[in-house]
Amino acid sequence: IEEQCDTSKGKWVREPGASIYTNLTCPTYPDINNCGKYGKDQSYLYWRWQPDGCDIPRFEPETFLNIVRGKRMAFVGDSLARNQIDSLLCLLSQAETPREVSRDSSGKYVTWYFPPHDFTLMVMWTEYFVEARPRIINGTASNSFEIHLDRVSTSWAEKLPGVDYAVLSGGNWFFRAIHLYEEGKIVGCVNCREQNLTEFGVAVTIRRALRTALRFISSCEDCEGLVTFLRTFTSSHFENGSWLTGGYCNRTQPSNETRTPPDDVAWEIRKIQLEEIERVRRPESGGKTRFGVLDVTKAMMLRADAHPGDHWTKKSKASVNDCLHWCLPGPIDMWSDLLLATLEKKFLPS
């Protein structure tokens, strides 16, 4: 599909048909993304992503399951990775009901199995890809982190052998206050405002952490045949605030080009992600794995209308709006359209 046209560029066009699933037909449906149940107008469902000069076919569950028959696929990342796998589970459940076979106590490492197709689907939690821990202040874990830019997180890395397809995604956690380490020594920070530390910035820190993760995957001796996809960065759409300061997202239809500022940090992060994928693809990298990109940055930048906003359970903080994650069904289902199209065109045996 990349050879035919650039699916990363296009616009959202009206679509008379909604998704192939609903909150009533998906057995794994997460209540936290059930925007319709909590009163959100459903007009955000009737749009599809139209790339310039071509189409991405609508997701076909049976086609996908036949492609991944006998395989193992893992989504590695933060809560948006979970958002993506929840979308894929709902899409696939229209052909076959998945069976949950394992779950850790935190619900951050979960495995589902599709028996007729012998297909295993996993989600593996990681905030930064690299080793990280909350920063301890006055004996208490804080909301800031300490991360080691040169050490891949073993929590997901040790589970990678045996996986056939991995989908990496992340970036939003890097906007927190972070202290950065290399070779066990502190080398700088992000948003820490300490006079004696070098401010790395979000984009540079993402580059360093992602490079460590991709280098590990490329050199993984027990990952023969692994295909890795990097899902590009998607920004939040908070207006007049943020998570904890009253930010909201009340728009009712997709935005147009004029609302995608060229200096938005999402473009910089996307550029870095594409550069790091190209770096690891080079022959001199010596890796045995293959790498692809699910480029969704622009498409999702235009969909400020499709977040839960104040239409969700709000179990923890009643005043918080969610303008980061995506309603289900919703435009996030397009990520699976793109994943299937890319698998069919680029990574299947001829």
Q: Which residues are annotated as catalytic?
A: 79, 322, 325
- Dihedral sign, Cα of residue 236, residue 238, residue 241, residue 246: negative
Spell out the residues 6+ positions from residue 270 whose beta carbon is closer than 8 angstroms to its own.
Answer: 232, 233, 295, 297
**What letters, b where the CB count within 10 A reaches 16 and e where it falls short, cover 88-127?**
bbbbbbbbeebeeeeeeeeebbbbbbbeebebbbbbbbbb
Spell out the residues 6+ positions from residue 262 whose beta carbon is closer than 8 angstroms to its own.
Answer: none
Q: Are 209 and 202 in contact (CB under 8 A)?
A: no
Residue among 111, 218, 122, 234 at smallest CA distance from 172:
234
For the chain, give the number of residues: 350
- Dihedral sign, Cα of residue 182, residue 234, residue 245, residue 106: negative
* Three-class DSSP category at 148: strand
Measured distance CA(260)–CA(318) in Å, rounded: 30
Cis peptide before 329 (omega within 30 of 0): yes
Note the maximum CA span of the chain.
59
DSSP secondary structure, 35-101, as one string: TTTTT--GGGGSEEEEETTS-PPPP-HHHHHHHTTT-EEEEEESHHHHHHHHHHHHHHTTTS--EEE
